Amino acid sequence: MPGLGELERYHAARALDGKPFRSACYAPTVSLYFHPTGRVQACCKNDRFPLGDVRRDSLAAIWRGARSGQLRDALRRDQFGAGCQQCAWQIESGNQLDVYTRIFDEFPVSAAVPEWPVMLEFAVSNACNFACVMCYGELSSSLRAQEGLPPLENPYGERFFRELREFLPHLKRAKFFGGEPFLAAETFRIVDAMVADGLRIDCHATTNGSIWNARVEKLLAAQPFSIAVSIDGATKETFESLRRQSDFAVVQSNLRRFHACTRAAGTSFSLAFCLMRQNWHELVDVLRLAEELDCDCFINTVTDPVGCSLFGLPEDEQRRIADVLEQAAAAAGTAIARNRAHLLHEVSSLRRHAQLELRRRLLKLRSTPPAVCGAAAAVAPALEPIAGPLLDRAWQLLAQGQHAEALTTLRAAETAPDAVKLDPARPLHLAAQLALETGDALKARERFERLLLLRPGHPDFRIGGAWAACAFGSVDFARREAAAVLRDHPGHAGALHLATLLPAAQ
């Protein structure tokens, strides 16, 4: 979590004049996000602390419900533990410009619990014609089919659309994601409802750029629509290898249509770039395109899946990429003027990760973990008929270093018919340990934090979190955690192990 200094710098960089109270993030105070499964969240990032589900709850109950209240309260106290870890890390990394929370700062806040949200974000369908390498089946029907899973059931029925009509007049903005928003019937239905109710609402869609037809043109004319087109490569080869099932030429030509259409309407146009191992070398060229189009390019730093993430690379490789990107930015000069700051923030964030040389060394040191199975036993009491034994097997595989097999077995446990009976801490603990041992410190840290929310003060989870924190350079914190756990649990094997290794790793 960000320290006090980082938090103060973060708050100071925001324009919060006129807000009746200060909050680390106003998302739950101004907005709701609808996921294709029916889950309702405060924003697209926070899938760990759902506020409700449209299959069960009314929209009014979600907005005014206890979960929304808890999240608002936590953020008002600058606490990020209820699913807001990604933003906490952004703040910690000093990237004040691109902290996701900031998109919510622009909205007026009328009260601690406003009567209505002023923004709704609709990812109400996973219908998508692409199967991008960094995306997931819950967001892409094409990927879901490739995973061999049945189509998602559509949770957005008549009741949802009826209730939505009450919310629409209060909106200052509506955003459409997906899936591919221009393939979702729901997008058209929602905009039709705005028109039928005589409303004019700022709308936004992030699109893969593959769909342009009369229906889309009509939609864009129906409300003031801003558009972001996702461009994850500057060349056909890279683009089509990442955005699978795409056609680079079609997207390039549609992109210019969207650009012209938004310019004519006086709305905004932008590009979105998913920064990954596979395409970082084309970022500067995409920023040149943004300059040519005189638009912003938003950089989505992919951290998950870890196989795509720059942060999962060895630290010397991260540092090399940061150097190359910085040199390319300097060489590009004014040709990327508009988006230079975004690129430089990515570079410094990468450097920050790269600096933490301890990461690799500590992970090596961890190769003889002392208490993996002991730790498992601590949260593995009664066994259920299928899920429980599968989970035990996964722990054994993990202890034997068979990570891929452990992950497959964990997934099987999570989807077993009796998985609901599992104590949620059990699979989560295994997932956290697995992330730690396979070098995905970001995920490990987040999972241990969630475990500590489930079991405050649990010594194994504190030590797991401390190991993950080491990978981010928080060695002092890890040392303090080891000492504190040893104070409360003298002789705790994991704490002893950590305390013994840390000085050696300095």
Ligand X SMILES: C[S@@+](CC[C@H](N)C(=O)[O-])C[C@H]1O[C@@H](n2cnc3c(N)ncnc32)[C@H](O)[C@@H]1O
Note the residues at the interface with ligand SF4 (CB under 6 A).
Answer: 128, 130-132, 135, 139-140, 143, 178-180, 208, 243
Nearer to ligand X, 32 or 387 (CB): 32
Q: How far is the CB of 133 from ligand SF4 (least distance, A)?
A: 9
Q: Identify the three-state secondary structure at position 369.
A: coil
Nearer to ligand SF4, 173 or 243 (CB): 243
Enumerate the β-bridge partners of residue 176.
Answer: 122, 205
Q: What does 163 bind: ligand X, ligand SF4, none (CB cut-off 5 to 8 Å by kind)?
A: none
Nearer to ligand SF4, 68 or 208 (CB): 208
Q: How far is the CB of 460 from ligand SF4 (least distance, A)?
A: 36
Q: What residue type is assigned to position 242 of the chain? A: L
Nearer to ligand X, 89 or 177 (CB): 177
Enumerate the β-bridge partners of residue 322.
Answer: none
Q: Please state the φ and ψ torsions of residue 40, each to the nearest 5 degrees.
A: -115, 130
Q: What does 88 bind: ligand X, ligand SF4, none (CB cut-off 5 to 8 Å by kind)?
A: none
Secondary structure element (H or E) that encloses residue 274, with its range:
strand 269-275
Tell me the C-alpha distance between 169 and 327, whole Å. 49
Give me 311's structure tokens. Answer: 């942060």
Q: How far is the CB of 128 from ligand SF4 (least distance, A)?
A: 3
Q: Please state the φ and ψ torsions of residue 368, each to the nearest 5 degrees.
A: -120, 65
Q: What does 300 bind: ligand X, ligand SF4, none (CB cut-off 5 to 8 Å by kind)?
A: ligand X
Q: How far is the CB of 138 from ligand X (least distance, A)?
A: 10
Secondary structure element (H or E) that encloses residue 359, with its range:
helix 358-365
Contact yes or no for 111/72 (Cβ under 8 A) = no
Tell me the C-alpha distance between 178 and 242, whole Å. 18
Nearer to ligand SF4, 128 or 498 (CB): 128
Nearer to ligand X, 126 or 438 (CB): 126
Nearer to ligand SF4, 132 or 295 (CB): 132
Q: What does 207 bind: ligand X, ligand SF4, none (CB cut-off 5 to 8 Å by kind)?
A: ligand X
Nearer to ligand X, 50 or 179 (CB): 179
Contact yes or no for 174/122 (Cβ under 8 A) = yes
Q: What does 31 bind: ligand SF4, ligand X, none (CB cut-off 5 to 8 Å by kind)?
A: none
Say which residues have a Cβ less than 8 Å from residue 116's Cβ, sequence separation at least 6. 63, 167, 170
Q: How far is the CB of 17 from ligand SF4 (least distance, A)?
A: 36
Say which residues have a Cβ less than 8 Å from residue 476's Cβ, sequence separation at least 6. none
Q: How far is the CB of 35 from ligand SF4 (least distance, A)?
A: 12
Q: How far is the CB of 134 from ligand X (least distance, A)?
A: 4
Q: How far is the CB of 38 from ligand SF4 (least distance, A)?
A: 17
Which residue's Cβ has the minimum distance to ligand X?
A: 230
Q: What does 67 bind: ligand SF4, ligand X, none (CB cut-off 5 to 8 Å by kind)?
A: none
Q: How far is the CB of 127 from ligand SF4 (least distance, A)?
A: 9
Tell me the C-alpha distance between 231 and 252, whole Å. 9
Q: What does 131 bind: ligand SF4, ligand X, none (CB cut-off 5 to 8 Å by kind)?
A: ligand SF4
Distance between first and last Cα of the chain:
22
Q: What does 50 bind: ligand X, ligand SF4, none (CB cut-off 5 to 8 Å by kind)?
A: none
Q: How far is the CB of 300 from ligand X (least distance, A)?
A: 4
Q: What does 304 bind: ligand SF4, ligand X, none (CB cut-off 5 to 8 Å by kind)?
A: ligand X
Q: How far is the CB of 95 from ligand SF4 (least distance, A)?
A: 22
Residue ranges in contact with ligand X by CB under 6 A:
128, 134-135, 139, 177-178, 180, 206-208, 230, 272, 274, 300, 302, 304
Tell me the C-alpha distance between 191 and 174, whole Å. 9
The two counts, helices (H) then strands (E), for the chain are: 23, 9
Q: Give the 3-state DSSP-derived string for 387-413, with helices as H, strands as E and coil as C.
A: HHHHHHHHHHHHHCCCHHHHHHHHHHH
- Of 4, 82, 14, which Cα lies nearest the Cα of 42? 82
Q: What does 68 bind: ligand SF4, ligand X, none (CB cut-off 5 to 8 Å by kind)?
A: none
Give helix 493-505 / helix 459-470 axis angle, nearest 10°. 20
Q: What does 272 bind: ligand SF4, ligand X, none (CB cut-off 5 to 8 Å by kind)?
A: ligand X
Nearer to ligand X, 181 or 464 (CB): 181
Secondary structure element (H or E) that encloses residue 452, with its range:
helix 441-454
Tell me the CA distances in angstroms from 322 to 86, 336, 373, 403, 470, one per residue in order. Answer: 21, 17, 39, 30, 21
Give helix 4-12 / helix 85-92 axis angle, nearest 10°. 90
Nearer to ligand SF4, 310 or 425 (CB): 310
Nearer to ligand SF4, 286 or 413 (CB): 286
